[in-house]
Structure 1
Amino acid sequence: MNLSDVALLVVAGLAAGTVNAVAGGGSLITFPALIATGLPPVAANVSNSVAVFPGYVASVAGSRADLPRGRALWSLLPTAAVGTVVGCVLLLATPARAFEVVVPFLVLGATAILAFQDPLRRLVGHPARLSPRRRTVTVQTMVLVGTVYGGYFGAALGVMLVAGLALVLDATLARVTAVKNLLSAMVGLTTLVVFALFGPVQWVAVAVVAPATLVGGYAGARLARRLPAVVLKTVIVLFGTVIGLYLLWRALT
């Protein structure tokens, strides 16, 4: 890895950490950057999953004031860990081509759910009107599905989590974003352990990208707290749409 490769990865890490904290999808910055340094796709994907973990932790620190209190939040973490392990196993044990075709539609679907959150809530019922049992099952299911995706690929994980959680949680978007940051950190920790043991991690690249995502993640989380809800929602929807279309173009070319 030469000096230009290091500079590219540092810039990509800073940008990805910021984007992950605000909207999600920062892996679409670091993943192509790792490919550009000469890593094969699977090694780049695995190394990227490990490298962005510090950024997720920093985003939790930056948004901790918005995290809800109580046991309900922490009960989501085991579900997130299980979902992530399932996703990691899928990545390491199955061909990537089929999922590459499905991923763009998952991202675009998640973005549409967030964009049309209010009409969908009228169809499925506002979270405040759901029974505690149904609300718990719905939230746990959303987290499980989102983290399986996160363990497999991870790009636009934040968009998918925010879209699903905003539909089933009776909370402000800033609070939903804070929960998303915590779950993303759990996904990052789980992928770090699984891929460190079983994946082709390129540790030199990780050592360059990880500190940059740490700085970007904290800065992005602080920025997200200051954005009005309508602006934050618009940013996430626009970014999710761009990510989905990019992934679709990439899968079809």
Structure 2
Amino acid sequence: MDIIILIIAAFGAGALNTVAGGGTFLTLPALIFIGIPPVAANATSAVAVFPGYAGGALGFLPEMRSFDRSLLLRLTLVTLAGGLVGSLLLMVSSDAAFSVIVPFLLLAATLVFLWGERIRGWAAATTHGVAPYGNIALFAVAVYGGYFNGGLGIVLLALFALWGMTDLHRMNGLKSGLSFALSGISVMAFAVAGLVEWNAAIVMMLAATAGGYAGAPLARHIPMRTLRFIIATIGFGMSAIFFFHAF
């Protein structure tokens, strides 16, 4: 039964990440539900969705190559540093402390998902005085991504808009490349620390990959408003459940 739950959750997460995002709303609760401690569940969830970032980065290689190599290298190094710090913060968090933080993170990620377009619009309109390609803001976002991955892509796109970027294809390319780098350093750190439940992770990686492939035709036929409603319902529902158990 545990394996069935993980397969269903990971398949759904792969599909959601392909069409809109929000896969963490399924993978993390499923891992905790089957009895994996919260910190280990979060680390295992990060490993489970890692193949999706690899595929996205490969798909956006032309857009990433349009950036200056020295700039791309600097942004990647900043992202790696922030992701490592966030991963280390997760490692030193107790399960009890993380259980209290999780509902707030899930709720925040749900709100960011719902308001993502408006956040990016606001960011694009307030670029004056914001340093382009700044290190500090990217480092902070990467720390969040290393600690908890939910909503990372939307936050990165909003940051790029603040930097003055307007080409969504280049923004998505940079987002995919940096997300892949951040996820990679997090997976390595969690693996070295022994936080990953590999049996669950491998099952979920395979199911998430299949779900990501299946998500492409779904994206063409399901209205975005319907998808947003489904993901928001899952996000708010999971947040309520975790709030109930934490408090």
Name the TM tier (shorter chain).
0.7 to 0.9
**Paired residue for 1:62?**
59
Q: Runs ≥4 in structure 1, deviation > 6 angstroms?
A: 221-224, 234-240
Displacement of 1:82 = 0.8
Q: 2:195 aligns with which of 195, 200, 205?
A: 200
Letter in 2 for 1:100: V
**Which one of the candidate residues 36, 40, 54 is aligned to 1:39?**
36
Aligned residue number for residue 240 of structure 2: 249
- Equivalence map 1:97-108=2 (5 Å): 97=99, 99-100=101-102, 102-104=104-106, 106-107=108-109, 108=111
Report the Cα distance in structure 2 between the residues aligned to 1:240 and 1:74, rounded to whole angstroms: 34
Residues 1-150 of structure 1 aligned to structure 2 (within 5 Å): 4-67=1-64, 68-71=66-69, 72-94=71-93, 95-97=97-99, 99-100=101-102, 102-104=104-106, 106-107=108-109, 108=111, 112=115, 114-125=117-128, 134-137=131-134, 140-150=135-145
- SS of 1:135's partner is coil
The letter of the residue matching 1:185 is: F
**TM-score w.r.t. length of structure 2:** 0.77
Deviation, structure 1 residue 41: 1.9
CA apart distance, 1:210: 1.2
Contact 1:57 1:214 in 2 (8 A): no
Is the contact made by 1:114 and 1:237 (CA closer than 8 Å) also made in structure 2? Answer: no
Question: Does structure 1 retain, via aligned residues, the 8 Å contact 2:79–2:178?
Answer: yes
For residues 33-70 of structure 1, give each alpha carbon's deviation from its aligned partner in whole angstroms, at most 9, with x where no partner exists: 22233322222111111222112111222333443332
Q: SS of 1:201's equivalent?
A: coil
Q: What are the equivalent positions in structure 2 for 1:184-195 lying under 5 Å apart?
A: 184-195=179-190
Residue identity in the other structure for 1:74:
L
Cα pair 2:112 2:151 within 8 Å, conserved: no
Identity of aligned residues (%): 32
Q: Retained in 1: the 8 A contact 2:79–2:181? A: yes
Matched residues, number: 237
Q: Note the alpha carbon deviations across 1:93-137, whole angstroms, 9 max, x for none.
A: 133255336525643357546414334433343xxxx79xx2122
Q: 212-221 or 12-21, which moves further after superposition?
A: 212-221
Unaligned runs of 5+ in 1: none
RMSD: 3.4
Deviates more, 1:17-26 or 1:235-244: 235-244
Relative to structure 1, the CA distance from residue 178 to residue 16 in structure 2 (aligned partners, 3 Å threshold; closer, same or farther) is farther
The separation in 1 between residues aligned to 2:188 and 2:88, in whole angstroms, is 12
Do the aligned residues in 2 keep the contact of 1:114 with 1:166 (CA within 8 Å)? no
> 5+ residue gaps in structure 2?
none
Separation in structure 2 between the aligned mates of residue 64 and residue 220 of structure 1, nearest angstrom? 21
Q: Which of 156-165 and 62-71 deviates more? A: 62-71
- Could you tell me how far apart the structure 2 residues matched to 1:12 and 1:124 are? 39
* 2:198 partner amino acid: W
